[in-house]
């Protein structure tokens, strides 16, 4: 979404905090494992990171910040 003009505009305009989960083409259990591994980091980032922001949640549950153009 962060590469699409309209979606990026909406993220910035409405001050959205966005998380991309790893593994969209993998089995549900693998995606859930990713989410559970990163859950505490996701909650902390959602609470303390000024919006707008985008994070990618990696396979191991780490957060990678994606810069907004």
Instruction: Judge contact between 37 and 60, C-beta under 8 A.
Output: yes
| Domain hosting residue 57, numbered range | 5-66
Q: How many domains does the chain have?
A: 1
What does each C-alpha distance from 31 to 24, 37, 40 come to in angstroms? 7, 10, 16
Q: What is the pLDDT of residue 2?
A: 62
Q: What is the pLDDT of residue 23?
A: 86
Please check the confidence at residue 20 and state whether its pLDDT lies above 70.
yes
Q: Give the C-alpha separation, 68 to 64, whole Å.
A: 13
Please check the confidence at residue 50 and state whether its pLDDT lies above 70.
yes
Mean per-residue pLDDT of the chain = 91
Residues forming a β-bridge with 19: 55
Q: What is the pLDDT of residue 1?
A: 58
Q: Give the C-alpha separation, 15 to 51, whole Å.
A: 5
């Amino acid at each position: 979404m962060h590469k699409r003009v309209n979606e990026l505009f909406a993220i910035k305009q409405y001050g959205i905090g966005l998380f991309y989960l790893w593994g969209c083409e993998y089995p549900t259990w693998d995606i859930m494992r990713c989410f559970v591994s990163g859950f505490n980091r996701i909650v902390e980032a959602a609470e303390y990171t000024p919006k707008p922001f985008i994070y990618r949640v990696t396979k191991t549950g780490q957060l990678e910040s994606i810069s907004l153009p």
